[in-house]
Each structure stands twice: as structure tokens, then as C-alpha cells.
Amino acid sequence: MATTVILACIGSTGLSSLVQFIITTIVESRKPSNEKELLLALAHNHICCLCSKAIEKQYVTQDEYDSILQLYIPYREAGGNHLAKKYFEEVDKLPIKD
């Protein structure tokens, strides 16, 4: 009797639907959200623009450097790519002028 009930539960669509829901929820929670991708793209664009301007001038002000750093650190920690890192490393070598 107990075996029949267990087999009926395992074979039922309700249980398989529950298992499928749990697996889908786990998989979906591991995907990056569109909002995160959008924020990374915006941060990347802004970091590269700010860095390009400083590199072109061949110096950076303290305020500019602080702004770049404030964007770059969370961008890097969120998984940002190597291009912004390259720009930031170039700015990091520039003299700071007031």
C-alpha cells in the first residue's frame, strides 16, 4: 500500500511540476538580470568616457579621479570587463592636478 502511494506521487504530474518549478527557479536566479547588464553597460560607458578625456589631457584632477574610482570599484566587483580596467590603469598613471 505505502509503495503504491509513493509510486503514485513520484509518477504524478503534481510532483514533477513541483520539481520542475524548483529547478527553474534555481536556474533563473543564477542568470544575470537585464537590469544588472544595463547598469554594467552604463558604468562601462561612463568610465571609458571619463578616462578617455583624462588620457587626452594627460592629467586628471582629484575630483575626476575620485569620480572614476567611485564608478570603477563597484563595476569591477560586479564583473565588469577588461577594457574599463585598461582605461583605469592608464588614468591611474597620470599626474593629478588641481
Q: What is the DSSP string of 31-58?
A: SPPHHHHHHHHHHHHHHHHHHHHHHHHT
What integer pLDDT is reported at residue 12 of this predicted model? 55
pTM as predicted: 0.65
Query: In 3D, which of 9, 98, 26 has the Cα closest to residue 59?
Result: 98
The pair phi, psi for residue 74, each rounded to 5°, is: -65, -30
Q: Among the ranges 30-44, 45-59, 75-89, which has the highest mean pLDDT value?
A: 45-59
Give dist(CA 87, CA 82) in Å, integer.
9
The model's pLDDT over 38-55, given as tens digits with 9 standing for 90+, comes to 888 999 999 999 999 999
What integer pLDDT is reported at residue 19 of this predicted model? 59
More confident site: 20 or 18: 20
Average pLDDT, the chain: 82
Largest Cα span, the chain:
84
With H, G, I as helix, E, B as strand and everything else as coil, classify residue 68: helix
